[in-house]
Each structure stands twice: as structure tokens, then as C-alpha cells.
């Protein structure tokens, strides 16, 4: 039974957000880690994300029963009831938000709220079912955890936070579209108007390439503005060049699903390596630009 509740929180998404929260935190620390603050930030963020994922499962029951990879979820199989799932989400959310508010800071709490509201309200309840722009909306919630990690340390929204937000949001686009190409039939059967289904796989490959370029430029800006060193630049660009290469060979792929799986898996590896690399490549900018 505990396993069913764990899977209700979508462990894969939790891990991804755990890693990106680490990345944002490490950018801000410049190698000097307050482990208690790190633990509280990771715990609070993970619980908030888990709460949002449980609510998403409740909202997506009708979609999940049409998709092969989600047909066995607990809510679809009725092994967990909707009221129980919502109560579970409430407990997770209250604890997560409480940790961020009382033991981290108001900035971390604010961006957790933004990520939750966008994911549950604007993405799950609205755009996922109605527009090809759903992925852009979802990227806002996906880019919130690294900003939570960053602002937990610095207690302000500055150029570093902005670049992190934009960079991780740009990364979300090709990453998410790769899943949609790989699971094309599932998304088509569920009538989800994501880009490869609503338009074409070819157009998706073009737009994915553009977003990888935007991601590369934005993340390089962290070095330009003094938030990372040369080691970071080498790691980042080596990974991004290979991601761009995968995008190019995708136009000649004989099997789009196999290519998309490879493209997706590399996107996960790339963001994990970059996020962890900040633990030894981040630097203190001379004159940080503070917005609020």
C-alpha cells in the first residue's frame, strides 16, 4: 500500500526536481554549504512537488486510463480513492509549504507557490487539454525548484535567479517534447494537444533545436555575469554541443521513437551533470544585479 502512495507522487518527477533544486542551491553557495538549510530546502520543495503531482493524478484520471504507461496508476485502478488522494496531497503540501515558510525564507515559499499554482491550475486543469502552448506553461513550474534552491540561500531575486529560471525553463521544452514523441501514441489516444501530436514531429524537432540553443546561450550567461567559472563553461558547452548534435541527427532518424528516447535520456543526464557541477564551479559575482 505504501508503494501505491509513493508512486502517486511520481518519483521520477520528484528526483528531477530534487536535482534541479540542488543546482540552484549550489549556484548561490559558491561551495560553502549550510547542510541544514540544504536539507530543509530539499525536503520542503520535494513535499510541495509531491503534493502537486498527487493533485495532478486526481485531475488526469480520465486521461491516464487512455494511456498505456499510466493505465495502472492507483486512481485509475480505484485502489486509492479521490478523497484519500486529496487528503494525502493536502498533508504533503501543508508540511512542504510550512517548512519553506518557517525554516527557509519567504522567497523560497513564494516560488514554491508559483510553481504549485502554475502546475495544478494553469497546466493540469487548463492548458494541458486545450493548447499546444501547454509545455511553455508547464516549464514555469518546472523551473521553479532551482529558483527555490537559489533564493533559499541569497534571499533575493537577482540576475542569477533570473538566468537559472530561464535556463531551466528552456531545458523543459525539448525534454518534454522528447517524451511526447517517444510516447506519441499514448498522447494521441488521450487527445492531448502537445506539439508533436497537434502539429508534427518534424516541427517539434525544429523547435526543440531552437530551445536547446536558447538553453545554451542562457546558461552561458551565468559565466558572463560572474556566477560560474571556466570549468563550468567547458562542461556546459561540451554537453550542449552533443545535445545539439542529437537534435541534428534526429532529422534523419529512421525510428522517431527510438531517437526521442535517446534524446530524452540525454536531457536528463545533461541537467543532472550541470546541476551537480555547480557545487564546484559556482562563483560570487562582483556586482550582482538585484531585482527584488
pLDDT at 134 exceeding the cut of 90: yes
Give the residue-averaged pLDDT of 82-98: 97
Give the residue-averaged pLDDT of 232-257: 98
Question: Of the given ranges (35-49, 68-82, 174-188), which has the lowest mean pLDDT?
Answer: 68-82
Q: Would you kindly state where each structural domain of the chain is located, as residue ranges?
A: 2-281
Percentage of the chain surpassing pLDDT 70? Answer: 100
Burial of 29 (0-12, 13-18, 19+ CB in 10 A): buried
Distant-in-sequence contacts of 49-52, Cβ < 8 A, 24+ apart? 49/13, 49/14, 49/17, 49/96, 49/115, 49/145, 50/9, 50/10, 50/14, 50/92, 50/96, 51/89, 51/90, 51/92, 51/93, 51/96, 51/116, 52/89, 52/93, 52/115, 52/116, 52/119, 52/120, 52/141
- Give the model's pLDDT for residue 74: 86
Cα 261 from Cα 267, distance rounded (Å): 10
The Cα-based distances of 288 to 28, 223, 225 in angstroms read 12, 12, 8
- Give the model's pLDDT for residue 23: 97
- Give the model's pLDDT for residue 286: 84
Residues 6 or more apart in contact with residue 195 via CB below 8 angstroms: 132, 135, 177, 180, 203, 204, 207
Given pLDDT bands bounded at 50, 70 and 90, which one contains residue 287?
A: confident
Give the residue-averaged pLDDT of 188-195: 94
- Give the model's pLDDT for residue 70: 83
Give the residue-averaged pLDDT of 249-278: 97
pLDDT at 199 exceeding the cut of 80: yes
pLDDT, tens digit, 9 for 90 and up, residues 201-241 = 999 999 999 999 999 999 999 999 999 999 999 999 999 99
Give the residue-averaged pLDDT of 140-161: 98
Tell me what the pLDDT averaged over the chain comes to.
Answer: 96
- Give the model's pLDDT for residue 31: 81
- Give the model's pLDDT for residue 1: 72
For 19-74, the DSSP string reads HHHHHHHHHHHTT---HHHHHHHHHHHHHHHHHHHHHHHHHTHHHHTTSGGGTTSH
Total length of the chain: 292
Given pLDDT bands bounded at 50, 70 and 90, which one contains residue 71?
A: confident
Instruction: Domain 2-281: give its CATH code.
Output: 1.10.600
Q: Is the pTM of this model over 0.85?
A: yes
Give the residue-averaged pLDDT of 93-105: 98
Amino acid at each position: 500500500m505504501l508503494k501505491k502512495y509513493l508512486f502517486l507522487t511520481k518519483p521520477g518527477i520528484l528526483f528531477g526536481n530534487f536535482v534541479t533544486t540542488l543546482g540552484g542551491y549550489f549556484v548561490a553557495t559558491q561551495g560553502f554549504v549550510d547542510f541544514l538549510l540544504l536539507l530543509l530546502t530539499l525536503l520542503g520543495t520535494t513535499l510541495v512537488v509531491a503534493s502537486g503531482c498527487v493533485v495532478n493524478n486526481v485531475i488526469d484520471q480520465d486521461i491516464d486510463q487512455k494511456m498505456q504507461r499510466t493505465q495502472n496508476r492507483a486512481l485509475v485502478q480505484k485502489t486509492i480513492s479521490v478523497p484519500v488522494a486529496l487528503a494525502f496531497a493536502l498533508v504533503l503540501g501543508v508540511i512542504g509549504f510550512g517548512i519553506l515558510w518557517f525554516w527557509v525564507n519567504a522567497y523560497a515559499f513564494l516560488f514554491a507557490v508559483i510553481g504549485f499554482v502554475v502546475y495544478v491550475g494553469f497546466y493540469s486543469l487548463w492548458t494541458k487539454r486545450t493548447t499546444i502552448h501547454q509545455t511553455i506553461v508547464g516549464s514555469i513550474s518546472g523551473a521553479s525548484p532551482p529558483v527555490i534552491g537559489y533564493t533559499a540561500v541569497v534571499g533575493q531575486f537577482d540576475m542569477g535567479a533570473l538566468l537559472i529560471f530561464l535556463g531551466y525553463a528552456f531545458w523543459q521544452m525539448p525534454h518534454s517534447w522528447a517524451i511526447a514523441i517517444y510516447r506519441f501514441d499514448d498522447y494521441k489516444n488521450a487527445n492531448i494537444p502537445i506539439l508533436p501530436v497537434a502539429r508534427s514531429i518534424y516541427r517539434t524537432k525544429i523547435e526543440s533545436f531552437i530551445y536547446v540553443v536558447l538553453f545554451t546561450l542562457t546558461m552561458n550567461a551565468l559565466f558572463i555575469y560572474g556566477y560560474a567559472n571556466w570549468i563550468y563553461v567547458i562542461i556546459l558547452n561540451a554537453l550542449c554541443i552533443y545535445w545539439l548534435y542529437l537534435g541534428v541527427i534526429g532529422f534523419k532518424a529512421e525510428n522517431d521513437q527510438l531517437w526521442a528516447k535517446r534524446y530524452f535520456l540525454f536531457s536528463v543526464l545533461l541537467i543532472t551533470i550541470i546541476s551537480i557541477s555547480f557545487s564546484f564551479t559556482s562563483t560570487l559575482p562582483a556586482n550582482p544585479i538585484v531585482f527584488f
